[in-house]
A and B are shown apart, each in its own frame.
Chain A
Amino acid sequence: MGENLLKIGYDAESIKVLEGLEAVRKRPAMYIGSTGATGLHHLVYEVVDNSIDEALAGHCRKIGITIHVDNSITVEDDGRGIPVKEHPVKRRPTVEVVLTELHAGGKFENKAYKVSGGLHGVGITVVNFLSEWLDVEIKRDSHIYHQRYEKGRPVVQLSVEGESSETGTKITFKPDPEVFENTVFNFDKIAQRLRELAFLNAGISIVFTDERSGKAIEFKYDGGIVSFIQYLNKTKTTIHQNVIYFTGERDGTEIEIAMQWDNGYSEKIFSFANNINTVEGGTHLTGFKSALTRCINSYAANTNLLKDLRESLQGDDIREGLTAVISVRIRNPQFEGQTKTKLGNSEVEGYVKSLVNEKLSMFLEENPSTAKKIIGKAVEGARAREAARKARELIRRKGALETSSLPGKLADCQETNPALSELFIVEGDSAGGSAKQGRDRRNQAILPIRGKILNVEKARFDKMLSNEEIRDIITALGCGIGKEDFNLDKLRYHRIIIMTDADIDGSHIRTLLLTFFYRQMMPLVEGGYLYIAQPPLYKAKKGKVERYIKDDAAMDDFILGSVCETLTIRSACGENGLKGQGLVKALNWVARFNCILRKMSRRRMEEGVMEAFSLERGFNADTLKDEKTLNGLLDGIKAHLSQRYPETTPVRFSIVPDKGKGTFMVRCYSRKNGVQIETVVDLAFARSPEFQELRRLGTELDRIGRPPFYLEAGGTTSEVDSFRALMDRVFEIGKRGFYIQRYKGLGEMNPDQLWETTMDPEKRTLLQVRIEDAIEADGVFTRLMGDEVEPRREFIEEHALEVANLDI
């Protein structure tokens, strides 16, 4: 065939060349994608790719790219230089053939280069055709050759311009403004591609200079794609330190893979074939993904890391937080897809699979702790996926039911204007029944829910809202859930009232509901649509008078208020005959005093000892500095105890130095139920807020005096000899004649009572849930949830005190 071509001669040959040039200049987009910015920059990449090919073949270490002030570009390498000898067939210098004939490059015969990039295979010829001018300078065979082209045609013969012992190719070109809409190059855009090339070709140096701005930058990464991963992950928190890397060859195809997981959820996999970023993926990516999934699953199953997971890990679970680079070098790349960036060679899938299976399995076996972290993350991903699926199901099922069928348990109201309607979410079926009967059916709807009780272990009861309860609430409210579905205009009731028992279980259900609304229906909380009902805890009855009382504190107030109408108290040193409002006030101080003492006694301190010290005027923090004064006080304390608290005797004291503080402490040994108790009175005690409060109250208590007290009521007088006994006696007298009923739950109230006390808009009090309340509920919920035992215990201890404070 070569022989025949020769005979056809130069003219026919040159006509063909001209036809090629015309075709490219007429439809440039067919060859470089577009005549916009993408096509313009593509010219640079085509030339650089030639140099990279030299590098891949092992002949080039350094590539320089320069943008000149006139937006012309120079690409220079230290490769072998394009051959200049006369082409055996074309009878022209090879370089001229390369620059003027489409598909003339060495890469099409697969001999000169084992593998090569060059996206469309049009390469440097097209760059020449679309340039206003192009200069090529070749250092080869000790000479420097030069030739210039304009709009694709040589304007001079290839000539020797000097001598050089080096080799290399230097091409300078200026894109033709007749072809391109805009011929200004973007530094960052080119830099990004060059950096990528430097990563993909470990060790190669790419120096990029922009003479327009003076910027220069060198890309050189000895770590190759491992450095690429580190670069991509530099702002991430990775879950394992070292990048996983492996490489191998399968039937002439070179495969290189690097990967690392971070603690995020997105998946970033970059795949390359012969340095081309295969944005649309292809067979190498498919092979990688399927082998990764198989490999991780089989390792996880063998090491029993999937435990309670119902199904195996899916690819998406495993790839959450994964950053990976896959680079293959292949002899005959086939690019497919819209933008020709999808690798089509089917054999590559198997090659990559086999390599990943072999090398990744080995890595996991050799690095069990890293493997465990990776699998742990994937398991978390699988759980998340499962939860998200259930959430979607919940929403979807709700969608299917939509308004047409409200929950069966809902007793709706007649009113259709949401602004006038109320929904009571009531805990328990019996309470729900009472509420349904007691309500004003015109505008009050009732949704009974049950806080499901799980008997998880022997004696532990857990509370939760079941799927059904959640669904019923969502359906009854009608406003939907989630970013897209939620619509406040569809809310069917503008008052949503949570009505639960006044006990611990009730408060847990309330916490669950508040947390749910806060997290999933925030606009209801923010809009002030949520309320909490205030059912009474007690009913007190005397004769025909009935009173509902909401909690213990209110109960105490009520008893105290009523008893003080008829009671008079006298003591030796207090005001004479205290009664009425004055007495209520004084008894409140006593109650508070007793309460603090009781609280302190829970910390294994003797109440009587603390009472004695707080009532002893001569004692304060300063007294602890002086052993003698302290000693002098002890007789009084001892007398107080034997008089008021004879059960604590015999009492023994010892005064010892409080190390490092320059003070003394008193160790008081008393008895309680036959057991010795040690109460320490030291600086910390004297300065504690509790003791300070006791001191303050001691002064207030002067009005009522000191024990013994004489109580006169209903014509009889009785005597008590301590503050503690005083309150007990007052309540005992106060409760006389009252019938007090404690409601253990809403269900114990009959419908009328529930209406009257809790639901009747004329009489009830509702607490509106503010955003802070909901946030707090969420906090309580998080800590009560049970999966973090330690913080939960701390929380309860901490709050037990707060609650106690509130009770005072």
Chain B
Amino acid sequence: MSCPLCKGKASWKNNPYRPFCSERCRLIDLGRWAEGSYVIQKTDKKGFGIGE
């Protein structure tokens, strides 16, 4: 299992921060949600991002 943020190792069992490896990573992730920096790009019909 890898941490969604730092891609380091994260255990599932007995890990209060799961799926993150640490409180630090969890908090940074939450911060990114809060600042609206998580963005999904719209794609065209063929499935490629427009403008690439």
Segment with Cβ contacts to B, from A162-170, A663-671, A780-788: A780-788
Is there contact, CB below 8 Å, between B34 and A463?
no
Is there contact, CB below 8 Å, between B43 and A522?
no
Within 8 A of B (CB), among A485-536: 504-505, 508, 511-512, 515-516, 518-520, 522
A390 within 8 A of B: yes
Residues of B within 8 A of A467 (CB): 33-36
A481 within 8 A of B: yes
Residues of B within 8 A of A384 (CB): 24, 28
Is there contact, CB below 8 Å, between A461 and B38?
no
Residues of A within 8 A of B49 (CB): 460, 786, 789, 792-793, 796
With contacts A452-B36, A504-B43, A784-B41 taken as known, whether A265 is within 8 angstroms of B24 at the C-beta atoms is yes
Q: Which residue of B lies closest to A789 (CB)?
A: B52
- With both chains docked as a complex, state the minimum distance between the C-beta of A310 and any C-beta of chain B, in angstroms: 12
Contact mask for chain B residues 38-52; partner A; CB cutoff 8 A; 1 contact, 0 none: 111111001111111
Is there contact, CB below 8 Å, between B19 and A460?
no
CA distance A781 to B38 in the complex (A): 9
Residues of A within 8 A of B42 (CB): 460-463, 504-505, 508
Residues of A within 8 A of B29 (CB): 387, 519-520
CA distance A470 to B35 in the complex (A): 10
Contact mask for chain B residues 18-39; partner A; CB cutoff 8 A; 1 contact, 0 none: 1110011011111111111111
CA distance A101 to B16 in the complex (A): 59
Is there contact, CB below 8 Å, between A463 and B31?
no
CA distance A483 to B15 in the complex (A): 10
Q: Interface SS of chain A: helix, strand, loop or mixed?
A: helix
With contacts A390-B34, A470-B34, A483-B16 taken as known, whether A781 is within 8 angstroms of B47 at the C-beta atoms is no
Is there contact, CB below 8 Å, between A388 and B18?
no
CA distance A792 to B49 in the complex (A): 9
Is there contact, CB below 8 Å, between B24 and A796?
no
- With both chains docked as a complex, state the minimum distance between the C-beta of B38 and any C-beta of chain A, in angstroms: 6
Residues of B within 8 A of A483 (CB): 16-17, 23, 26
Residues of A within 8 A of B31 (CB): 386-391, 394
With contacts A461-B42, A505-B42, A800-B47 taken as known, whether A394 is within 8 angstroms of B36 at the C-beta atoms is no
With contacts A387-B28, A519-B19, A520-B33 taken as known, whether A781 is within 8 angstroms of B50 at the C-beta atoms is no
Residues of B within 8 A of A512 (CB): 38, 40
Residues of A within 8 A of B40 (CB): 462-464, 508, 511-512, 781, 784-786
Residues of B within 8 A of A177 (CB): none
Residues of A within 8 A of B52 (CB): 789, 793
- With both chains docked as a complex, state the minimum distance between the C-beta of B19 and any C-beta of chain A, in angstroms: 6
Residues of A within 8 A of B51 (CB): 457-460
Q: Which residue of B lies closest to A522 (CB)?
A: B18
Identify which of B19, B30, B48 contacts A796 (C-beta below 8 A): B48
A741 within 8 A of B: no
With contacts A387-B32, A457-B51, A459-B51 taken as known, whether A464 is within 8 angstroms of B26 at the C-beta atoms is no
Residues of A within 8 A of B35 (CB): 386-387, 390, 467
Is there contact, CB below 8 Å, between A388 and B43?
no
Identify which of A391, A452, A784, A786 contacts B34 (C-beta below 8 A): A391
Residues of B within 8 A of A184 (CB): none
Residues of B within 8 A of A789 (CB): 49, 52
- With both chains docked as a complex, state the minimum distance between the C-beta of A105 and any C-beta of chain B, in angstroms: 49
Is there contact, CB below 8 Å, between A391 and B47?
no
Q: Across chains A and B, which 9 residue pairs bring their CB atoms closest together, nearest first?
A: A387-B31, A391-B30, A391-B31, A461-B42, A394-B34, A390-B31, A390-B34, A462-B39, A796-B47
Contacts A461-B42, A512-B40 supplied; 15 other A-B pairs, CB < 8 Å: A387-B31, A387-B32, A388-B27, A463-B40, A464-B36, A464-B40, A470-B33, A515-B38, A519-B19, A519-B29, A778-B4, A778-B19, A785-B41, A786-B49, A792-B41
**Can you spell out 17 A-B residue pairs with CB atoms less than 8 angstroms apart?**
A387-B29, A393-B34, A394-B31, A459-B51, A460-B41, A460-B42, A464-B37, A465-B36, A470-B33, A470-B34, A481-B30, A483-B17, A505-B42, A781-B38, A793-B49, A796-B43, A796-B47
Binding site for B on A (CB under 8 A): 265, 384, 386-395, 452, 454, 456-467, 470, 481-483, 504-505, 508, 511-512, 515-516, 518-520, 522, 775, 778, 781-782, 784-786, 789, 792-793, 796-797, 799-800
